[in-house]
Structures are given as structure tokens and as C-alpha cells.
Structure 1
Amino acid sequence: MIYPAVLPHIRGTYNLTLTTSGLLLTVLWIAYASGQLPGGILADWVGERPLLITSSLLAAAMLALVIVADSAVILFSATALFGAGTALYGVSRFTILGKIYSEQLGTATGATMAAGDIGNAVMPPAAGFIATAMAWQYGFGLAVPLFLLAAVGLWATLPKRMSTATSLRESIALGDILSTLSQPIVLRGTILLVLWAVIIQAFMGFYPTYLIDEKGISARIATALFGFFFALGILMKPVAGRAYDSIGVRIPLLALMSVASLALAALPFVEAVWLFVPVTVLASSLLGFETIVISDLTRRLPEGTQGTNLGALRTVYLALGALSPVLFGAIAEQEYFDEAFLGIAGLAAIVALTVFASIDY
């Protein structure tokens, strides 16, 4: 989430347009998506613990490469490698929670994802401040030792393997993956996550830039609002997870996406700086959506190949969602920034209607 916060500075360094800026974010998310299935296969095969530790070490190394990039080509390549390195973390964090907290998976997932939002709330404003005061590379540099510290913490605290290893041949059985993901309720959940990913990746990728370029807000206030968005997720995600454990899927998802649709639709019409605070509060309902759907889908996946199936599922929705920043940026490039936000507001309304019409939920 540091990327969107320092994107205006990166644009200046490498002379990127809004379209190529969006492409940089798309490269990051496609690389992250592409690593989900291999990460899931490895989680089933070797276990979550070594994978989570390795991911943290790779992230530190690849982020260091981003910092020293002296051309746009190296920047894009290093960004792709960083996305792939962090991808190994994506599946294992969910499957290990399912094994430890099988009876309260929604709550555990929400709490863990909210912990991530502590970083998302603190790091973008900090990186934005450092980028303004010094250089954007120092904003990224702040994260490198934290990744190394995380690797040490994971090594010290994660439990040993909690289930029998799945053979590599079983893990990569394509027929089993397709049969699982083609189940109607799993397929519906995947489609909902695709639409959610399109919405949130476009919003996260360009919210600070939009506030600065279109609304005339200072970079410091824009990145503070961006960090505030994720700070709200610290509350939103555990509440969403607890709601899932208590009352199921349909009502929480309907409430979250309806509120998000209203917030995104209101954004182009807001001018006063203070009004962006309540709009950001309402938009943060997007952050609870994934917690509920992922918790529900994780419970439905077969035990022995849970990581592989979840990795395949995450590859699908993250890769398709990753296309939205470059498309959103291209639309904004044509001076349709407001219309782009209205477009994802309409998409959020479609998601809400789909959930409302779903009898399985």
C-alpha cells in the first residue's frame, strides 16, 4: 500500500503517465496473483511455516531492488519480483488459521487481516511524509528491516506442521481443482471476489492521486486519508469476521457493499476537505468484504488440497482484479477521473444486488 501513496513521486522520477502508473500497479498485482497457486501447492506440500518465513525474506530482498532501481524497466521488473515474493504469504496465512482456529475461522481471519491494516494505516502516510521530505526510496526503505523482523518473529512463533503432508502429485491434480472451483457456491464466491478486487484495486491504486490531482488536496493530507482508510480496517475486518461467524454471509456482505457503493458514488461530488473523512469511513466497508468470503470459501475446500485450491481461487480473482488499475488509469488519462469512480460505484451496486439475489447465502 506504500505504492499508491508514493505514486505521484514515482511518476515524477520516471516521467510516468496515469496509464503507465496504473500499469505499474497492475504489474504488482498480477505478479502477486500469479504466485498464489504455486504458493498454495507448496503450502500443501511443505507446510505453511517455511513458506511464510521465505516469503518475508524474499519480500525484503526484492523491495531493496525496487529502491535501487535506476530506470523504469528495472522498477517494473523489481516490482514484479516483489509481488511474486509476497505472494507466497497469501494462501498460507489463511490455511494455517483454518487449522488452528477451525471453530472461529471468521474471527481469526478478521483479526489477522486487521493486523495487516495496522501496517497499511501507518506505512503509507509515513512513506508519503518521507517521500515529500526526502525521497520516495526512503519511504520504501523503511519496510525492508520490518520484513526481516517479521521473518524472525514467524520463525520463533509459528507452530510446526499441523497436518499430514500432501504429495506434490496430489497437490497439482488439475481435475480436483477444477471440480472444486466449479461447485456453484464456490464459483459464485469467486465471481464476487473478482468484482470486489476490480473495485478495491482501482480505488486503492488511485485514491491518493485523485485527491491530489483532481481535488487539489495536499499530498500530506491525501496520504493521511489513505492511511485512515486502512486504519478503519483494523475495526472493520474483525467485525466482519465476527458477523460471519454469528449470522453468516448474506446480510453482512449486502450491508458492506451497499455502503461502499454510496461512498464511491458520492466521491466526485465532494469538494470540502473535511467531507472526505466521512466518505473515507463509508468506503472502508470494502475492507470487510474479503474477510467474509474467504472465510466461507476456506471452510468449503477439501482438507488435503486446501492450499492448492485456495491458491487457484486467489490467482483467478487477484489476476482479474489486477487489470483494473491500468484500465482505471487509462480512463483517468482521458480526463474522466470522476466517471471512473462512478463506474466502480455502479459495479459495487451490482455486487450488492447479486448477494441480495443469492438464495444459497
Structure 2
Amino acid sequence: MLIAIAFGWFLSISVRMIYPSLLPYLRTAYGLSLTTAGLLLSVLWVAYGLGQLPGGLLADRVGERLLLILSSLIAAGMLTLVVVADSPVVLFVGTSLFGLGTAMYGVSRFTILKDIYPDRLGTATGVTMAAGDIGNAVMPPAAGILAATVAWQYGFSFAVPLFLLAAAGLWLFLPARSAVPSPTDSAFDPGEIVSMLRQRVVVHAAVLLVLWEAILQAFIGFYPTYLIDVEGLSASVATGLFGLFFAFGGLVKLLSGRAYDRIGVRYPLAALMSVTAVGIAAIPFASGLPSFVAITVLASGILGSETVVISDLTGRLSENSRGAKLGSLRTFYIMLGALSPVVFGGAADLGHFDEAFLGVAVLTGGVVLYVLYYIDY
């Protein structure tokens, strides 16, 4: 059961990360400007964010097993649509529906693990999240190699049968839900969300998560493109560096989680974002592969930031309707943060690629100041 859930998440997150790796090929195939390419990434992540709360509510109504299977099947279908798209409009439609489909995996994977492993939830969640990190490190470089050696369509299409395999595994191994709550038991109460947003720690967490998402999406959305178009690195090297970013990010998540358990939010988060700011700020001044390896390692610090903030936030939410509350917050910060790629792409289109990265670095430094000034826990 755990392998089936972890493999589904491996695909759900890592195939979304293929988009930045193949962005140069999509721009060439469809004649997209950097602004339009950024809009494509924003559409993907806005759709993913939009589906978080409905996905959580549907899991309460119909059960996680059905929703996880449907998520994998929809992802396979919409990825096929992206592969055969004959116009930018079809590409955008397929991408948005792919984002919505994978969103159904987001909250459900947590709630079903709690049902299956009530006494070992932390270990089970860690295994699942680690599978996602492995996917992010492996799948984008694999897609980049296929795009460079065969065609960009193969960079997406090789994942379609894997999604079908994931759906089959979920259907075979996950337990059928014995009872589904009545609509009144799982009803969504907006009043609880409003009350939650009045809490000081929740407001701080929401601000930090919005800024984190905006910084992350701007960086991962255009880092491979920058390495190829501006620095002249090959596509295979650029996607290899992109995979290295996530490989180190997995280690950073483990270390940041332990740091949070020991000393709280403030200092681990400030340290992670400081290192990230230095890495991103160095991008316009770097030259040569060794320097970009160092930058990639430093920038991976941002991947541990969500671990710290989400761990603290989840522990503070009341057990009553925790899934709906967490789903609503995820919808909020993912959708707002997902707007950054189109802004970043617009700046790059105007010839300010380097300045755009410096702006992201300044924003990251602003997060450090926010943490040191406002966070005291």
C-alpha cells in the first residue's frame, strides 16, 4: 500500500517538474515568448492550487482510494493531450487540466496514510515525500535526455504508461473504504476558515508560504531556460543541474525537519532563506559549470523552508476539519505564488533576465528580515 501511494506521488510531483526542463522545447515548438511560457507555468500551478480544497472535500465524500486512482487516470489522459497538442490553446488546456488532476493527489495522500498507519504516520509520510524528491531528481533529467535525443513529446509521453501503472497499483493494493461520512459530517464551514485566518501564527505562516511559493516557482520555472539560453549550457547539463537541485533538496528537507523539532521555526527558516538568497543572487555573476553546481546546491535550501512552516502550521490547526483548513491554505498560497512565473517571464522578455533573478534574491532576503522581525517561535 505504501509503495503504491508513494509511486503515485513520485509521478504527480515530478512530472510537473518536467515542464521547466522542457520549456525551451515548448517555446520553439509553439513560438512562445518568455512571458507566455511563464504564463503556461502559472496556469499549471494555479490549476494545481485551485484543486487542493475541492480535492480534500471530495476525499471526505467519496474516499481517498477512488480519488487517488482518478487523479492518476486524469493525469495520464491530460498528459496525452499535451503530447498531441497542435496549438498553444490545446497545450494550455491540457496543462491546466493536468494540474487539476494531480491536485486531487495532494491532500488525499496525507489523509489515507493517517488511516492506514495511525501509529507510524511520520515514517509513512517521510517515505512518500522522499519518493517525490527522488522523482524530482530523476524525472526532469530523463525527460531532458529524451527531448534532446528523440523529440520533446517523448519527454512527456514516457510518463503516461507510468501513471496507468500507478492507477492499477492503487486499485489493487489500497483498501476499499468501509464507510463514507455523510454530507453533514464533512460539510465545509467557511466560518472556521475565517476564524483560523484571524490567528497570528496562521497569518504569518500564510505570508511565508505565499512568498516561498512565489520565489520557488520563479526560480524553478526559468533556471533551466536561463542556463541554456543565456549561459549556453547544453540541455542535458541544464536538466542535470535541475535534478541536482531536487536531490540536495531531499537532504535539506530531512535536516530542516530535525532542526524544526529541536529549535523551532525562526532560526532554521532564516538560515535556509539566507543561503537561498546568496545562491540566487550569484546567478548573474556566475560563469562555468562548477559555479552553477555551487549555486544549485545553495539554492536548494529553499526546499526545506516549506517543511519547517508546514510542520508548525499543521500542528497548530485544530483536529476538527484539519484537512479542509489545510486544503484551503494550500489553495491560497499555491495560487498566489504561482503568479510569479508570468511576471518573471515578462521581465526576461524585456531583456532583464539577470535583473529578474536579482529581484527574486532581494525578495528572498526580505523573507529573512520578515522571519527575524516577526517570528518569535
Q: Same fold (TM over 0.5)?
A: yes
Q: Specify whether residues 150 and 237 from structure 1 end up closer, same or farther in structure 2 by C-alpha distance, changes over 3 A only.
A: farther
Alignment of structure 1 residues 30-179 onto 2, 5 Å: 30-97=46-113, 109-158=125-174, 165=181, 167=183, 170-179=186-195
Q: Specify whether residues 195 and 279 from structure 1 end up closer, same or farther in structure 2 by C-alpha distance, changes over 3 A only.
A: same
Per the TM alignment, residue 282 of structure 1 is displaced from its structure 2 partner at its CA by 0.7
Q: Which segments of 5 or more consecutive residues in structure 2 lack a partner in the other structure? A: 1-16
Amino acid at match of 2:18: I
Q: Specify whether residues 56 and 242 from structure 1 end up closer, same or farther in structure 2 by C-alpha distance, changes over 3 A only.
A: farther
The equivalent of 1:180 in structure 2 is 196
The equivalent of 1:191 in structure 2 is 207
**Contact 1:26 1:322 survives alignment (8 Å):** yes
**Contact 1:45 1:168 survives alignment (8 Å):** no
For residue 270 of structure 1, the aligned residue among 270, 273, 286 is 286
Q: Which segments of 5 or more consecutive residues in structure 1 lack a partner in the other structure? A: none
In the alignment, structure 1 residue 240 sits paired with structure 2 residue 222: no
Amino acid at match of 2:87: S
The equivalent of 1:251 in structure 2 is 267
Instruction: Count how many residue pairs are aligned between Structure 1 and Structure 2.
Output: 361
Supply the RMSD in Å over aligned alpha carbons.
2.2
1:77-129 residue CA offsets vs partner (Å, 9 max, x unmatched): 01000000001111222344556667886665454323102111111111111
Amino acid at match of 2:200: P
The equivalent of 1:334 in structure 2 is 350
The equivalent of 1:214 in structure 2 is 230
The equivalent of 1:22 in structure 2 is 38
**Contact 1:166 1:305 survives alignment (8 Å):** no
Per the TM alignment, residue 221 of structure 1 is displaced from its structure 2 partner at its CA by 0.7
Distance between the aligned counterparts of 2:118 and 2:307, measured in 1? 15
1:269-325 residue CA offsets vs partner (Å, 9 max, x unmatched): 101221111110011111111122222222222323122111110111011011100
Distance between the aligned counterparts of 1:101 and 1:330, measured in 2? 46
In the alignment, structure 1 residue 305 sits paired with structure 2 residue 284: no
Per the TM alignment, residue 133 of structure 1 is displaced from its structure 2 partner at its CA by 1.2
For residue 261 of structure 1, the aligned residue among 269, 277, 290 is 277
Per the TM alignment, residue 228 of structure 1 is displaced from its structure 2 partner at its CA by 1.0
The equivalent of 1:321 in structure 2 is 337
Distance between the aligned counterparts of 1:169 and 1:225, measured in 2? 47
Distance between the aligned counterparts of 2:311 and 2:109, measured in 1? 12
**Contact 1:22 1:328 survives alignment (8 Å):** yes
TM-score under structure 2 length normalisation: 0.89
